[in-house]
Amino acid sequence: MTELVPGGNLPLPGGVLTLRVPGPFDVCALITGEGGKVGGDADFVFHNQTAAPGVRLRGDTLTVEPARLRPGAAGVTVAVSPAEPGIPLGRLPASTLHVTDPRGRSIARFTPPRQPRGTVLLLAEVYRRDTGWKLRAIGQGYADGLAGLARDFGVDVVEDPPGAPARRPDVPRQRSAPPVADPAPAGVPAPDPEGVLGLVNSARASAGSPPVSLDARLVAAARGHASTMAAAGRLAVESPDGTSVHQRITATGYAYVTVGEHLVSGPRTPAEFVAYCLRTEKARRTLQDPAFTQAGLARVTGARTGDTYWTALWARPLAPGDPARTCAEVVALTNEERRGAGLPPLASDPLLTTAAQAHCADMVARDFYSHTAPGGSQPWDRAAAAGSARRTIGENIACGQRSPAEVVEGWMNSPGHRANILKPAFTHIGVGFVGGGRAGTYWTQLFGA
């Protein structure tokens, strides 16, 4: 049997594999394609949807048969969260993964480092390599729980209140964004005939957060999606054509630093809607998030069902100096980590910065997330193309994080990314940041020596 550490991997035998995580945890699995994204609702296996082709969940145990996964599947990511909502993983026993082969023999075990604050943990991945399959230990936690995991798939959806019937989450699909006709004009404030903004800002003030204003572009995007849900008679994180929240917003011409969303059905008045959002911790945190400065709010009642559907968009627009300030803060936080490890700081390199920024923009434009671009270019190729003559190159990428502090913390919690940040040989750094695309935000650190 192999004892794995974060980042460790081992080849897997053919046949049905059993992956068990005993303890007070909910286990789920995400079936992903080559790009690391799910293909649709059927690729999410959890307590309300316990089976998909090649994957089955029974209690604390997943069975995975790679040969029977859906066409195009390249991996199965296993995640755990506390069975009792609201309890951080740090208060629970270790979430140890036990892997057995088709004969019932134990072939691997992985106990990740303790996660003192997180409430969701990406535990491991079964992934295809050439003609075979391997297991990789991950051990990556999310400090903001399921919302952080959802952002990796491009959405932050409000949970139902206690006692409400369980809903099956809609998982983002890989589609391109269609054009949106007649986007709202940039910078135009939106009217608030129903007074919902006053209720929202009163709730924000109670948490010490500044008020938000309505933006016409966000209101247009929110109204379009609320109308779509009302017509279909169901909550959905995507439009029928697969358009995600980030794609809906950027299609209106709105550029942002950070964005969040609430999708709610049921409340009929603004007061009921705000009360609903304040009822659960995650929804309340989004509504009261001090990072947001603008909002788009809309409700539409379905003609067939009579149900009311709400879409609330929360955002902070991208100001002219934001990208440079954001990247400078990433550099500063990176150098704080190096100083704490007794290493000299990295100097900002304009050529590496150009290459890092270009890679972020490319990931948004061509809808991928990888160190290898669709044309095959690698980090050192991009550095050279920008004019850099540095001989040693390293790269960290991330997507979905909403602040420099969050992205640097995530990199430092990942052994491979941490090794790049704390590599003594590196002397220079370039940082890129772009808001938009499927994940919402894209980050690149390019190191050189």
**For the segment 390-447, what is each residue's pLDDT rounded down to a tens digit?**
999 999 999 878 789 989 999 998 888 999 999 999 999 999 998 777 677 889 999 9
* Residues in contact with 379: Cβ distance below 8 Å, sequence separation at least 6, in sequence order: 355, 359, 371, 393, 394, 395, 446
Kindly report the average pLDDT of the chain as a whole number: 82
Predicted confidence at residue 149, as pLDDT, reads 55
97, pLDDT greater than 80: yes
From residue 39, give the alpha-carbon distance in Å to each of 32, 106, 146, 175, 179: 7, 31, 19, 9, 21
Backbone φ, ψ for residue 19 (5° rounding): -120, 115
Distance CA 17, CA 35 (A): 23
Mean pLDDT of 158-180: 35
**For the segment 4-16, what is each residue's pLDDT rounded down to a tens digit?**
877 778 899 999 9
Mean pLDDT of 249-253: 79
Distance CA 249, CA 270 (A): 22
Report residue 386's pLDDT band, with 50, 70 and 90 as the boundaries.
Answer: very high
Backbone φ, ψ for residue 112 (5° rounding): -75, 165
From residue 318, give the alpha-carbon distance in Å to each of 54, 255, 259, 293, 306: 43, 5, 11, 11, 38
Report residue 53's pLDDT band, with 50, 70 and 90 as the boundaries.
Answer: very high
349, pLDDT greater than 80: yes
Amino acid 365 reads: A
Report residue 24's pLDDT band, with 50, 70 and 90 as the boundaries.
Answer: confident
207, pLDDT greater than 60: yes
Query: Beta strand pairing status for 17-20 and 61-64?
Result: antiparallel
Distance CA 403, CA 351 (A): 23
Nearest residue to 153 via CA among 139, 168, 181, 173: 173
Predicted confidence at residue 411, as pLDDT, reads 94
Looking at the chain, the whole-number percentage of residues with pLDDT higher than 90 is 41
Report residue 178's pLDDT band, with 50, 70 and 90 as the boundaries.
Answer: very low
Contact 53, 68 (CB under 8 A): yes
